[in-house]
Structure formats: C-alpha cells, structure tokens
A and B are shown apart, each in its own frame.
Chain A
C-alpha cells in the first residue's frame, strides 16, 4: 500500500481566521491524508522548521489578511534554502486575482480562493504531489 500523503496546514502571519484552514485540514484527513495543523501566528521560519521535522509532502498555507505576497514566497524561499525542492506548496485565502501569477512564479503551485470545494484541493494535491 502507498504511504499516505503528509500535509502541513499552516497559518502564517498574524491573521486569526482559521475556519478555512481547519475545514481543509479535516477534509484532507477524511481523504486519507496525514495532517498536521500548526495553529495561529507562525513565522515562515517556524513553518519551514515544522515541514522539515514532520517530513511532509505538502505545505498548505492560509492567509486572509492580505500579507500573502510577503509570506507565501518567503516560505518557498526558506524551503529552498533548506535544500527542500520536492514539497508541494499551496496557498489559500482572500487573494486577489492580480496577485496569483506572481505567487505561482514564486513557487506557490496552487492558489485556492474563497468558494473552492475541498475536493478540488484534494485532487490537486493527489495530482501534483512530488514525493
């Protein structure tokens, strides 16, 4: 049997809106993945440390405060600095369309905005996980 996909669900920055992060965490778990949820107020450094320690396949971050352009790419960069290239990085939240190309270019491979069904996220992970 295949090893289950391991996902770190993370809340970077100071934003306290975690409804989406928790719903996604539970949906991924119900889909058979192993999910670790960081809780609120994580710095990019803490998220990368958790990703390394938990040896995850996916880092899924959620921000609704508008700080995504700053925090998402920073996590990708720090992962690279740790020599980690095979982790799928995803972002969700209130993210204006104009910001999406820049984030994708920065290495956030999937961006999910309000109204996205959890199934879509699950399928995206299954189709794009690298390990």
Chain B
C-alpha cells in the first residue's frame, strides 16, 4: 500500500522511536513483559505501515459487497438496514415460549430464534427415560407437530424469519416448520430462516449428535438438495464456530475449525452430485463475540476473506452469493461471570460492538444472568436494548467497516487468516474435518487452549473482573427464572393424548415408508414431512432413523 521509498523512511524513523522508547523503559517500565490478545496472540507496542507493507488494497480488502468481501458482504451494510436483532429464546412448553416470542417481537426484535430442550435436540420424546429431568430446561420441548403449531400460534411465518438451533434432527424440525406454515396458508417458497444443521461441531464441541458421521452428512446434503428446490430462501446450515470457541478455542482456531467444517459440507454435497452454486448461496455461518474487541473484529474480517478465497479457488464457485460468508453472532456465554453479574451487561456491550464493527448479519446478545440460569424477561430486555443502543446511539454504523486501514486491525486480520490457513492445511492432511474429529485432533487443540486459559486466570496472568480481582462479598438475592417443574409431566400427558387421537395406522405407514427409504439413497425430506404431518412424534421419526443408521460413538479424549 506504500511506496518503497516511503517505507524505507518509516523503517528508519520507527527504529529511532523504538530505541528512544527502549531507553525510557528502565525508568518507566511497561506493566508486562509480553502483551497479548484475549486468545494469547502476542501484540506489539505499536503497529505502523511496516506491518502491512505487503497488503494490496484491491486484492486483499477491496470494496464492501465485492470479492474478497473483507470489508463486508453488502455494499452499504448498516446504512441500508441494521443487522437482524435475534434473541435466542425458548424454555418450558410451547405455550410459554410462544408468549416470550410475542413479547420479543413487541419489543422490536426483528427475527425469531428457537432454543429447543436437550431431548428434542437429541431426538427423544419427553416421555423417554433419558429425557428425565431435562424436559423444557434449556429450551422448548417439541414432541410433535402439535407443539410446533402452538409454538408459532399467531406468528405469521411469511413475515418473520426464524432461526432454529437444531442439528441432528434438523430435517424433522424443518419438516414440522414447513407443515405449520402450510396450515397458516404460507408456502415453503415464502419461508425465511435458518436451521443450524451443523453436525460436525456437535462431535467437536456441543454434543447433541445422534447418528454416525456418514449418515449425518447424508441427511445434511438431503436438506441442501430439497431446500434448493422447494424452500429456496431458507439457510440450510449455520456452520458454527460459536460452540468451538465456547469450548475454549482461540479466535484463530474458531475460524480454522469452522471453515474446515464448511469445506467438509461443500465436499459432501458436491460428492452427492450437487452443483456448488446451487447450494453454496444458502450456507451461513455462526461466530462468537468475545471481549477482545479488536481481535474479534479482525477475526470476522479474516473469516470472510478466507472463505471467499476457498470457495473461489478451491471449489470454483462462480455466483457472488456462493463466495460471501454471511454470519450470525452470539456474544460469548463463557465470558459471563456468576460474580457481580450485572457487570456482564458491559461485557455484552463490548462484544456487541465487536460483532457490529465486524459486519455481522444478525446478533444475539446474552443476558447478564446467564451464568446463573436462563434469563428473566428484564434481563433479556436489557440485552436487546444493548443492540439498539449500539445501532442508534454509538455512531459505528454510519460508515462501512470503519476500522479498516488500522495498522493493527489489518495486521491482525492477516495473522488470523494465516493461522487458520495453516490449520486447514493440517486438517486436509489428516483427511478432512470428519477424519480430524475422529482422530481427536480438533478436540485436543481446543482442550489445550481451554486449559491454558484456565491456568492463566488462576495465575492472574489474565484478569477476569469480579472473579480473580476486584471481588466483593455478594449477599443480595437475585431474581432468577425458574422453569416450571411440571412441564415434563404436561408434555408426557400431551403425547399420551396425541397418540390416542391421531390415526395410528397412517402414522405407522409413514414411518414404515421412511424406514424403507432410509435404506436406499433417496432424499428423505419428503418422507419425513409425510410422517410429521400425520403427527408422528420426533422420537418416533428419529427412532426409525436410529434403527437404520445406528448411533455415533464419541471418542473420549483427555
């Protein structure tokens, strides 16, 4: 970006300055020997044009809305429209969650994001033995289409976009969503939203897997194919670094492992006979926002540039939309403290800024009390207001990618991209992400980072305010949300009733067909839709698939 001669001058003046500072350090030492980012990347005292002398503006940054999209996927970004403010919510029963959604929409939220309870995420009905104690705890319990009808009652599905955090049984929940829409008179073509549908990160970090790798990848490519024809506005996957980061990875590892997973999905779909430009425009991503503001901003920019390059150079994608990394962000749950929990509001505000300065397409902000329990309505409102304050009051949305050109930001963006590329090469050499997961490579890298961080906190090398410094005695009782313990019983009764009023012969019939088709290579989506429309339960549909596919065996690595 700079002329050779100018760079020589800067090199010389920088040396003078650096020597001068060096002399003063004896008298006025810096607070630490080594300065580092939140992810432990060493940070220099000062960044200058010398650190980005190789940067080629047009090739490496370009313009927003243009390859390689470092500066954003849209040309006008938030001047055209804010990011979607989307609070992840759901607890107890479909009735209670429906109320919370209506409340959030009234408060100015612009999209829905459904949290399911663990039995739903793992394909068990509420009356399954393994569901005991878990029903309605971390999200809403959905056992059948009946629950989905209640969940979206009075919410027009042609108007809102809905994100569903569902992975192993994503096809079943999507089928239910399509069926509910139909009852509202909304066609699949009108539906907008996202299913997470990212099984690889479940094996790596999140844990709600059901089926083995190959069968899971088949279900995922079935969804890609089905939606490219029938539900064209639906984002068929949200390739997630969020949980990888929550499990303790660094920022660069988050980019690396997420994009490596992305590569595996693209590979699988191409292998299944799909054209890259038919499905790639509907791929979306999901990243974390931690406290190191500048590192996070650099991370999003690096991820965007690297994905564009991978799609173009590795997969030969042609459509612009195939090259664009669009992403949802959630602020970092793992940075929330149970101690002095109101301080979390400030952390979330910083993380919100990071996501917005990094060009996110949608955002969930965590609530202050989430290190203690599910959030109360008041806490959720503050979290949503945090986004609204950043949008309307902070001024950061007035221009596109305002931090570009900062010597530090550009240098860090390069650095993170490079580290991620090196990891991806290592993973390629292991045979791709699924193999690297099987061998435990990815999990081990994350665990090492997590352990290192914990030790740094314990040795006070890293300060967490209120936890290892600035502590106080806390006596005041906090108002926390309690999930009604009767949900489990209510859900069980609902299933019992459902099974007594539905046409059980028809249900059995659709399940038999699904089972037979699972043994062929046919796309399973239409048969899953048939089954859920007859009110086959989630557990029944997943049960049939379990019989044919078997279950994933976790490789336990310490």
A-side interface residues toward B, CB under 8 Å?
13-19, 22-23, 25-27, 29, 35, 37-41, 43, 65-67, 69-71, 94, 96-98, 113-115, 117-119
The interface bits of chain B over 479-493 (1 if a CB of A lies within 8 angstroms of the residue's CB, else 0) are 010010000000000
Judge if B248 is at the interface, Cβ distance under 8 Å. Answer: yes
Produce 1/0 per residue, B454-474, CB < 8 A to A: 100110000010011000000
Whether B31 is near chain A, meaning CB under 8 Å from some CB there, is no
Q: A16-B206, A27-B454, A94-B373 are in contact. Are A115 and B134 (CB under 8 A)?
A: no
Chain B interface (Cβ within 8 Å of chain A)? 118-119, 121-122, 124, 129-134, 137-138, 202, 205-208, 246-248, 334, 336-339, 371-374, 447, 450-451, 454, 457-458, 464, 467-468, 477, 480, 483, 554, 556, 558
Note all chain B residues with C-beta closer than 8 A to A25: 558
Tell me whether A23 and B137 are in contact (CB under 8 A).
Answer: no
Residues of A within 8 A of B134 (CB): 13-15, 65-67
Q: Which residues of A lie under 8 Å from residue B454 when comparing CB positions?
A: 23, 27, 118
Distance in angstroms from B435 CB to nearest chain A CB is 20
Q: How far is A29 from B558 in the complex, measured between Cα atoms in Å?
A: 10
B481 to chain A: closest residue by CB: A96
A71 engages B133 (CB within 8 Å): yes
Most buried by A among B121, B137, B457, B480: B137
CB distance from B336 to the nearest CB of A (A): 8
Q: Are B371 and A114 in contact (CB under 8 A)?
A: yes
Smallest distance from the beta carbon of B169 to chain A beta carbons, Å? 13
Which residues of the other chain, B, contact A119 by a CB distance below 8 angstroms?
458
What are 24 A-B pairs at a CB distance below 8 A?
A13-B118, A14-B208, A15-B118, A15-B207, A18-B247, A19-B450, A23-B447, A23-B450, A23-B451, A25-B558, A26-B558, A27-B451, A27-B454, A35-B558, A37-B556, A39-B556, A40-B554, A66-B483, A67-B134, A69-B133, A94-B372, A97-B477, A113-B338, A115-B338
B467 touching A115, Cβ below 8 Å: yes
Known: A38-B556, A39-B554; 9 extra A-B contacts, CB below 8 A, are A16-B205, A16-B207, A23-B248, A27-B454, A39-B556, A67-B133, A113-B338, A114-B338, A115-B339
Minimal beta-carbon separation of A112 from chain B (angstroms): 11
For A37, the chain B residues whose CB sits under 8 A away are 556, 558
Interface SS of chain A: helix, strand, loop or mixed? loop
Cα distance, A27 to B452, chains bound together (Å): 11
- Separation of A66 and B136 alpha carbons in the complex (Å): 10
Closest to A38 in B: B556
> Which B residues are CB-close (under 8 A) to A22?
447, 450-451, 558
A-B CB proximity, top 8 nearest: A16-B207, A70-B133, A14-B118, A67-B133, A66-B137, A39-B556, A115-B467, A114-B338
Where chain B touches its partner, the secondary structure class is loop
Which of A16, A17, A118 contacts B202 (CB under 8 A)? A16
Task: List, in ascending order, chain B residues with CB within 8 A of A23's CB.
Answer: 248, 447, 450-451, 454
**B118 and A65 within 8 A (CB):** yes
Cα-based distance from A17 to B201 in the complex (angstroms): 12
- Given the complex of chains A and B, what is the CA–CA distance between A41 and B372 in angstroms? 22
Q: How far is the CA of A97 from the CA of B132 in the complex (A)?
A: 22
Is the CB–CB distance between B208 and A16 below 8 Å?
yes
Residues of A within 8 A of B338 (CB): 113-115
Residue of A nearest to B249 (CB): A19
Chain B nearest CB, measured from A41 CB (Å): 8
> Is the CB–CB distance between B207 and A40 below 8 Å?
yes
Specify which chain B residues have a CB less than 8 angstroms from the CB of A98 in the assembled complex: 480
Q: In the bound complex, what is the Cα–Cα distance between A41 and B129 (angstroms)?
A: 12
* Chain B residue, CB-CB nearest to A120: B458
Chain B residue contacts of A41, Cβ below 8 A: 122, 130, 207
* CB neighbours of A43 from chain B (8 A): 129-130
Which residues of the partner chain A approach B457 to less than 8 Å between Cβ atoms? 117
CB distance from A118 to the nearest CB of B (A): 7
Per a CB cutoff under 8 Å, which of A26, A94, A118 touches B458? A118
Please, which residues of chain B bring their CB within 8 A of the CB of A113?
A: 338
| Complex: A16 Cα to B468 Cα, angstroms | 27
Tell me the smallest distance from the CB of A96 to a CB of chain B, in Å. 5
Q: Which residue of B lies closest to A14 (CB)?
A: B118
- Cα A71 to Cα B134 with chains together (Å): 9
- B485's nearest neighbour on chain A, judged by CB, is A69
A43 CA / B132 CA spacing, docked (Å) = 10
- Which of chain A's residues has its CB closest to B202's CB? A16
Q: Please state if A96 and B480 are interface contacts (CB–CB under 8 Å).
A: yes
Contacts of B373 in A (CB 8 A): 66, 94, 96
Task: Give the shortest distance, in Å, between B515 (CB) and chain A (any CB).
Answer: 24
A82 to B39, CA, bound (A): 46
